[in-house]
């Protein structure tokens, strides 16, 4: 997968006394994230200049390998502090003069808020397969259904085309013409789809905005109710299988762990490595590409549709579900 197909998203904030800050949310770079076109280089040059002025530079959310290389090469030998939300992959270049601090603010804040609500929701790990009428719960749509992303779009369209999600609860954004040009997964999957339609797990036509989706008081009751119906949570993380970004898992993996249901993880190799370093493990082995993930979900779906096998599968998940819950309780101290 080429770099220009990645969702074009990078945010940085420069902090100093007096504070100088700039936040650019989800810019659309013509050449794609990491393409280092004029607009992207201008954006990064501002971060470089701030660092040269001895300001702390914080890269929020994800950083592309090419963006990181550009920044490091243009600040070579300069001492200072860089804050990241996810660790750098081992093969990325570094500069001994720089102090790198990693703090996943998104996961930390969501975990603290979740743990404060522990007694409000049932922990569902002792499950009866006969009461589960849906295969998977998978969330993708966000920001009022406008936040489509190449990697997640590829995964979702593959699962839709192969009818993997025909008995599942899932969300997805509206049609995005720009992304349709790049839904090209393997030799049989240039699959441009003109019939993509917005879906949410609430089964509503309403396009919920980010304020709603990031409000745990509103979202958790819905997720809890849906978790009671599904065999497995498919955690579709941001930028799945894009191994050109630093390792920042989003908050998405927290939901199945909190509710005590099995999950599979759809993300990059760097993201799953971070989850494992925190003590989490999905309930079926991680797969690192679109095809293997689709095959994994088809295999699990066949198990879920056999009552005897479905119950045996659920019974086998309890120990790991409890280990993941223990990891969740320890996560704030580990991250901080």
The CATH classification number of 107-335 equals 3.40.50
How much helix, strand and coil, in percent to the nearest 5, is found in the chain? 40, 15, 45
Residue 230 and residue 123: Cα distance in Å, rounded?
14
Which residues, other chains included, contact 297 with Cβ-Cβ below 8 Å and sequence gap of 6+?
135, 136, 159, 164, 234, 264
Q: Which range, of 17-31, 68-82, 195-209, 300-314, averages the lowest pLDDT?
A: 17-31
The more confident residue out of 142 and 314 is: 314
- Name the β-bridge partners of 81: 99
Residue 283 and residue 233: Cα distance in Å, rounded?
10
Residue of 196, 209, 192 lying closest to 170 (CA atoms): 196
Q: Flag whether pLDDT at 1 surpasses 90.
A: no
Global pTM?
A: 0.89
Which whole number is the average pLDDT over 120-138?
95
Query: pLDDT digit string (tens) for 195-236?
Result: 788 888 887 777 766 676 777 888 899 999 999 999 999 999
Confidence of residue 173 (pLDDT cuts 50, 70, 90): confident
Q: Give residue 253's pLDDT.
A: 97
Residue 70 and residue 36: Cα distance in Å, rounded?
9
Q: Flag whether pLDDT at 323 surpasses 50.
A: yes
Query: pLDDT digit string (tens) for 255-300?
Result: 999 999 999 999 999 999 999 999 999 999 999 999 999 999 999 9
Which whole number is the average pLDDT over 56-75?
92
The CA R_g of the chain, rounded to the nearest whole Å, is 20
**Whether 238 contacts 33, CB under 8 Å:** no
Q: Give residue 16's pLDDT.
A: 46
Q: Give residue 201's pLDDT.
A: 84
Find tokens 């978790």 and name the residue.
227
Q: At what angle do helices 216-227 and 105-115 cross, to 10 degrees?
A: 70
Domain boundaries, the chain: 3-103, 107-335
Q: Flag whether pLDDT at 40 surpasses 50.
A: yes
Q: Flag whether pLDDT at 168 surpasses 80.
A: yes
Which whole number is the average pLDDT over 46-66?
90
């Amino acid at each position: 997968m080429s770099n220009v197909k990645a969702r074009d998203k990078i945010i940085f904030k420069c902090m100093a006394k007096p504070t100088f800050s700039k936040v650019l949310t989800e810019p659309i770079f013509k050449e794609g994230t990491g393409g280092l076109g004029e607009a992207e280089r201008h954006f990064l040059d501002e971060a470089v200049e701030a660092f040269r002025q001895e300001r702390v530079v914080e890269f929020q959310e994800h950083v592309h390998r090419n963006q990181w290389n550009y920044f490091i090469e243009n600040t070579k030998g300069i001492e200072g502090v860089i804050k990241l939300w996810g660790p750098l992959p081992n093969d990325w270049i570094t500069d001994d003069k720089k102090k790198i601090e990693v703090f996943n603010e998104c996961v930390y804040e969501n975990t603290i808020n979740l743990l404060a609500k522990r007694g409000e929701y049932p922990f569902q790990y002792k499950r009866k397969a006969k009461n589960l009428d849906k295969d998977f719960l998978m969330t993708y749509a966000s920001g009022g259904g406008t936040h489509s992303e190449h990697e997640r779009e590829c995964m979702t369209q593959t699962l839709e085309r192969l009818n993997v999600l025909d008995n599942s609860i899932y969300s997805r954004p509206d049609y995005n013409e720009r992304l349709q040009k790049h839904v090209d997964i393997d030799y049989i999957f240039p699959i441009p789809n003109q019939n993509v339609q917005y879906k949410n797990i609430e089964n509503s036509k309403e396009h919920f905005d980010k304020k709603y989706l990031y409000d745990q008081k509103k979202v958790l009751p819905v997720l809890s109710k849906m978790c009671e119906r599904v065999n497995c949570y498919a955690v579709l993380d941001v930028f799945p299988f894009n191994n050109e970004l630093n390792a920042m898992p989003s908050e998405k993996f927290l939901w199945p762990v909190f509710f005590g249901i099995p999950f599979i993880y759809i993300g990059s190799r760097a993201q799953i490595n971070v989850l494992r370093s925190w003590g989490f493990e999905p309930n079926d082995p991680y797969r690192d590409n679109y095809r293997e993930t689709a095959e994994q979900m088809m295999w699990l779906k066949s198990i879920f549709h056999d009552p005897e096998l479905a119950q045996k599968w659920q019974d086998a998940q309890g120990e790991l579900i409890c280990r993941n819950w223990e990891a969740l309780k320890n996560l704030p101290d580990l991250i901080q």
